[in-house]
Amino acid sequence: MTSHADGRKFVEGVRWESFKQFAFAWLVRIYPLQAFVLLGFLLLELFRVPLYDAGYLHTEPFTKDMSPYLLGLNLVMRQTIVGNAAPLGAVLVPPEDR
């Protein structure tokens, strides 16, 4: 969407001023959604803490794909550094226990 809206500015070449405007517009459009979704995942993990303590979950909260390290990478939008991490990697019951 961003390249569709602003892509015409770069057809004739990239100037520093055009790039700054593009980067700012991209950040203002994308980051609030990123932060909102990340907050939702963080709240889900916090909700999992008492469920794990009560024995309803087999995987600890804030581990695997929702570790503090990966949540930090998501906060600065660098989550693809570590590869294909599923957003909610923990399952309620492992397949071998079904």
pLDDT digits (tens, 9 = 90+) for 33-58: 888 988 999 999 999 999 999 999 88
Query: Positive or negative CA dihedral for 44, 91, 75, 3?
Result: negative
Distance between CA 59 and CA 20 in Å, rounded? Answer: 43
AA identity, residue 74: N
As a whole number, the mean pLDDT across the chain is: 76
Contacts of 61 by beta carbon, 8 Å cutoff, 6+ apart: 45, 46, 48, 49, 52, 90
How high is the pLDDT of residue 94? 46
| Residue 92, pLDDT above cutoff 50 | no
| Residue 73, pLDDT above cutoff 60 | yes
* pLDDT > 70: percent of the chain: 67
Q: Where are the alpha helices (DSSP H) in the chain?
A: 2-6, 16-53, 68-75
